[in-house]
Structure 1
Amino acid sequence: MEFKDLEIFQMVAEKGKISEVAKELNYVQSNITMRIQKLEQELNTPLFHRHRRGMILTPEGKKLLAYSKRLLQLADEMKKAVQNREEPAGKLDIGAVETVIHLPVILSNFMMKYQNVDLSLYTGVTKTLEQDVLQHKLDGAFVTETDFHPDLESHEVFSEELILIADANTESLEEAKERPFLCFSEGCKYRARLETWYRDQNIEPQKVLEFGTLETILQSVLMGLGVTFVPKSAVAHLMESGKIKGFTLPERYSKIKTVFIRRADAYLTTTMEKFIETIEVHRTIPMENLAAAL
């Protein structure tokens, strides 16, 4: 049984179609089919149900998928451990909630210092990013602090204040309460905080509208579509220019911490070690001095 066969098996399980896997890997379809059949012969059991629209896992295939993910993850960690070097290099997949306003400073300083690292950034809500780190889809993620899974370790990045914002024509918090609530999808901790405040105030939002990006939410607030709850640092420029109104909520709802999470049992590569060091330096140096210091 070869690792490549397991990788192909996982891809077919995820995509459900041999044609899509063959296209992505630039293989002929018969090669993919042959590798799947080889696995089935070695294990003496069918791994997929074949139908006209594609392929779905059999119960035995689902068991193999769980084991193959663990095996391939261990193989990846083995390579990193053996090939570990002083100079950070290789691929680093990082996730982040969209509202981490200081993130560009952290990433730019890291990339300028370690140019052999291929860093990719993915955005999402805290709940989704936590699962992606647990499932080894991401090496780590910047998220809002919460009660994390015990297999995760966290590193504090910074503390912030959330603020309720509305368009410039909104005169008071009482008026803002009656506006539609603009937010990210379920799993966003900012959303959860404001929903808790609504409940504690016995308020039912007029309407809840979900958006995919912070930019869209802010533009919608500017146009008077509703209110939202975001870090004050992310909208300070809009408040200073008078384009929006900000309303402060009690500390139990508004004070948050952004942390960086990673799997506690994952091998700590030189690349990840240096990335965490960059975060720690960022945490101890004033924002205006960070670029010069690093």
Structure 2
Amino acid sequence: MDSNLLKVFVAVSEQKSISLGALELGFTQSNVTLRIKQLEKTLGYELFHRVPKGVILTQEGEKLYPLAKEIVQKIENASIQMQNMKEQTLLRIGTSQANATIRLLRFIETVQRDFPLMSLEVYTSGTPSVLEKLLAYQIDIAFITGDPKHLDIEVLNQFSDDLYLVEPQDKRCPNTLIGYREKSTHFDFLKAYEEGLGNKTYQTMIVENYEVMLGCVKAGMGKAFLSKKIIEKFGYVDTLTLTKLAQNECDLQTRLVCRKDNVPFIADYLQGLC
């Protein structure tokens, strides 16, 4: 079976549209239609139902999709690994949002200076999503918060973050915890800390912007748990109350990680960064 046909199938499946799939792949719509028909002829099944707004998978298409997705990902990863056997030509970086704010730009500048011919790609999300991408071979390295505790993951480097409970200075603080996203290691720690104090009735507020989050704290809308580097970056150190919390057994250090079976060619370099 031609893997290129599977790549077309995956693109159309994810876009739910032949025209959008063609746009993603850089093909003509007629070319994509022809390739889908070739794949259907090879397999002996129709893979899509045509609907007014595009296409949807048939029952056979639903069964094929996860298998095709895995094959396409493995082929793409094999291609990248072969290119990187003698030198790192592409480095795909994943990072949690906090690490993107604290250290990503400096990391990119340093790597581009030392490896000017290497291309970089960046994916940003919460630590759980970043780890999922890493384990699926969709990124090469990742900045994450905490110990991944996964047999397939290798830690390349480790960084300490100065973390503080942040509260308004001159306003009464409501029982509201402010986080960047609901699934966040730092936010989970803050909620567990409050519950450990017997606070079971707090409300939560999600603000996906650190500057706005700090502004909300200053305005007396709640409290947050953030790295001091983020607080300094947006100029709030002198206008908020910062309290250092005992982190107990909660490991909140930043780690730079990779898959054990997909260690970057520049691993030694990455291990030496500080």
**TM-score greater than 0.5 by the shorter chain:** yes
Residue identity matched to 1:135: A
Equivalent residue, structure 1, for 2:223:
227
Tell me which amino acid in the other structure corresponds to 2:62.
K
Task: Tell me the alpha carbon deviations over residues 212-258 of structure 1, each in whole angstroms, 9 at most, x when there is no partner.
Answer: 23233223223333211112333246688512110122222775211
Structure 1 distance, partners of 2:70, 2:261, is 13
In 2: Cα distance, 1:238 partner to 1:214 partner: 8
Cα distance, 1:126 vs. partner?
0.8
SS in 1 for 2:97: coil
Indicate yes or no: 2:181 matched with 1:185.
Answer: yes
Separation in 1, partners of 2:58, 2:143: 36
The CA distance in 2 between the partners of 1:281 and 1:261, in whole Å, is 13
Residue matched to 1:68 = 68
| Counterpart for residue 98 of structure 2 | 99
Q: SS where residue 282 of structure 1 aligns?
A: coil
* Structure 2 counterpart SS, 1:122: strand
Secondary structure of residue in 1 paired with 2:161: strand
Compute the TM-score of the two structures, normalised by the length of structure 1: 0.81
**d(CA) in 1 for partners of 2:271 and 2:148?**
21
Q: 1:40 aligned to 2:36?
A: no
Cα 1:211–1:148 shift into 2, 3 Å? farther
The CA deviation string for residues 115-156 of structure 1, in whole angstroms up to 9 with x for no partner, is 112212222111111112222332222111244443333333
Gap regions ≥5 residues in structure 2? none
* Residue 14 of structure 1: aligned partner: 14
> What displacement does 1:38 show?
0.9
Distance in 2, Cα, partners of 1:249 & 1:40: 60
- In the alignment, the residues of structure 1 paired with residue 253 and residue 97 of structure 2 have an alpha-carbon distance, to the nearest angstrom, of 14
- Provide the alpha-carbon RMSD of the alignment: 2.5
Residue type at the aligned position of 1:280: Q
State the partner residue of 1:120: 121
Structure 2 residue aligned with 1:277, among 259, 264, 268?
A: 268
Secondary structure at the counterpart of residue 252 of structure 1: coil
Q: Is the 8 A contact 1:164 1:229 kept in 2?
A: yes
Matched to 2:51, the amino acid is: H
* 1:150–1:13 distance in 2 versus 1, CA, 3 Å: farther
Alignment correspondent of 2:254:
258
Higher share of residues assigned helix: 1
Equivalent pairs, count: 272
> 1:17 Cα shift?
0.9
CA-CA distance at 1:88 after TM superposition: 2.7
Q: Residue in 2 aligned with 1:160?
A: 161
Whether 1:55 and 2:55 are equivalent positions in the alignment is: yes
Structure 2 partner of 1:197: 193
- Please name the residue that 1:23 is paired with: 23
> Is residue 141 of structure 2 the alignment partner of residue 140 of structure 1?
yes
Q: Indicate if the aligned counterparts of 2:77 and 2:137 stay in contact, CA closer than 8 A.
A: no
SS at structure 2 position matched to 1:74: helix
Q: Cα distance, 1:7 vs. partner?
A: 1.2
Structure 1 unaligned residues grouped into runs of 5+: 284-294
Q: 1:124 to 1:84 in 2, by over 3 A?
A: closer
